[in-house]
Structure 1
Amino acid sequence: MSDNNILVQRPEAHPGVMVIRFNRPEKKNAITSAMYDRMTAALEEANGDEAIRAAAFLGTEGCFSAGNDMGDFLAYAMSGSKEAPAAAVFIKALAVAEKPLVSGVDGLAIGIGTTLNLHCDMTVASSRSLFRTPFVDLALVPEAASSLLAPKVIGHQRAFAMLVAGEGLSAEAALQAGMIWKVVEPEAVEAETLALAASLAKKPPQALRIARDLVRGPRDAVLSRIDEELVHFAAQLRSAEARAAFEAFLKR
């Protein structure tokens, strides 16, 4: 797996910003274990580096991320491993990230490609973006504390429709629901996202940290829900119905 599937950059034009970019367009930026590991390391690096004041997640043209790589997940399920999947380690790193997180979504945002944004402080999306979490369709359950965060952000009905029924949210619907900050045209997503991150990076860091912590609140409930979801997710991941769903997906 090439390290280039996740690009971690510090653009000179935006001091204080770390960019974490999905860069596997030939697979619609589907995320493998190695990619999760790279993103976890990047978040930990940002936590420990005072020069980094904000981090920005970006994808490629027309696709933020299609979610977990199904082949990778099927291999994990069949391995019988008792270790937490790399996705779970990344999700916890995301939940406790110490620097402001922004995201720029253009096009598909599926599964973790959607739930990742619930942990971001501000999200810019293109007008052609689609947020969808087909967990139950794959015989899985919500992850990334989305079962806790989504109802709080967008309400029970929309959260149920998205997380359980597998209904998608357009960019405009996500904006109206309060799940994202701004909708722009596709060609403006990256510039708007980086400008937003750069603006945050210029603010007094201690005041920014305190204000962010006050707005976000304690992380205990989020981490507890991540663990609760993981128990069910891991069990379902190894289930016969999930294996059948994955194999059907891979045959498409």
Structure 2
Amino acid sequence: MSNNSILLKIENGVAQIALNRPEVFNSFNREMALALQKTFDTCEADDSVRAIVLTGNGKAFCAGQDLKEVTSPELNPGFKKILEEHYNPIILRIRNLKKPVIGAINGVAAGAGANIALACDIVVANERASFIQAFSLIGLIPDSAGTYFLPRLIGFQKASALAMLGDKISAEEAERLGMIYKYVSSEEFEGTIEKLAIKLANMPTKALGMIKELFNSSMTNTLEEQLAMESKYQIEAAQSEDYAEGVAAFIEKRKPNFKGQ
């Protein structure tokens, strides 16, 4: 399946989604935002997909909003529509997908592009990548859940400074701060992403989805609420076929063959 602005390839249980407007550093217009949402829905509905990779074609991961669109009298959808129909649904889809989403950050991730990256479950960056909360540099505020995830990932003080000053952060610094999982060399980038995606695709998908839901809920739950939710989900996980296979493989001293069921 492909779209002019979004490319989707499914192979070996992995869906690779590529933002495909390299001539404008994969900045979002309405077409690409809506196409990305539909592509996530396709991945959610396809049981053969057990892990998702989100990356960008060309030199950049995503430069955020296409400013030509918002400054065009004919094309500008307005900020209310851009947020409520473009970015907010993208963030919610990433977080609500019951499958792991890897952010494969191949180049600069700026503005909404940076925050879409941070919403992914596991973020691996090319050593050439960088992250910038570019909003304040043009008189805006971080959207796409930047004010939600960034302080939780790196702490209030550092997040506040990055959001206000618009400093560019290297991939190495992003890893040091805990903003991303890790960065790797350009030579290792594609191989690392492929290996990680295949590993996730062969793990117990239901359990991974539950882990994701538990982490989402931990953002607002009390300790008592989180413990109760853990109990509920652990009981459900213990009834899965993958749990039975995992225990059998452990006892038999062999590699488990998880089916995601």
TM-score range, shorter chain: 0.7 to 0.9
TM-score scaled to structure 1, two decimals?
0.78
Task: Please tell me the residue identity of whatever aligns with 1:122.
Answer: I
Partner of 1:175: helix, strand, or coil?
helix
- For residues 79 and 173 of structure 2, the distance between their equivalents in structure 1, rounded to whole angstroms, comes to 39
Instruction: Tell me if 1:165 matches 2:165.
Output: yes
Alignment-derived partner of residue 142 in structure 1: 142
Alignment-derived partner of residue 241 in structure 1: none
Alignment-derived partner of residue 210 in structure 2: 210
Q: 1:143 to 1:79 in 2, by over 3 A?
A: closer
- For residues 37 and 76 of structure 2, the distance between their equivalents in structure 1, rounded to whole angstroms, comes to 24
Alignment-derived partner of residue 51 in structure 2: 54
Percent identity over paired residues: 31
Partner of 2:131: helix, strand, or coil?
strand
Partner of 2:134: helix, strand, or coil?
coil
Alignment-derived partner of residue 16 in structure 1: 13
Instruction: Tell me if 1:6 matches 2:3.
Output: no
- For residues 71 and 220 of structure 2, the distance between their equivalents in structure 1, rounded to whole angstroms, comes to 30
Summarize the alignment of residues 85-164 of structure 1 with structure 2, pairs less than 5 Å apart: 85-164=85-164
Q: 1:112 to 1:79 in 2, by over 3 A?
A: closer
Alignment-derived partner of residue 26 in structure 1: 23
Cα contact 1:103–1:193 (8 A) shared by 2: no
- For residues 78 and 46 of structure 1, the distance between their equivalents in structure 2, rounded to whole angstroms, comes to 29
Report the Cα offset of residue 219 of structure 1. 7.2
- For residues 88 and 126 of structure 2, the distance between their equivalents in structure 1, rounded to whole angstroms, comes to 28
Partner of 1:207: helix, strand, or coil?
helix
Q: 1:54 to 1:80 in 2, by over 3 A?
A: closer
With a CA cutoff of 8 Å and minimum separation of 6, indicate the structure with the bigger relative contact order: 1
CA RMSD of aligned residues (A): 2.3
Summarize the alignment of residues 236-251 of structure 1 with structure 2, pairs less than 5 Å apart: none
Cα contact 1:33–1:87 (8 A) shared by 2: no
Q: 1:185 to 1:61 in 2, by over 3 A?
A: farther
5+ long unaligned stretches in structure 2 = 222-261
In terms of Rg, which structure is larger?
2
5+ long unaligned stretches in structure 1 = 222-252
Q: 1:27 to 1:220 in 2, by over 3 A?
A: same
TM-score scaled to structure 2, two decimals?
0.75
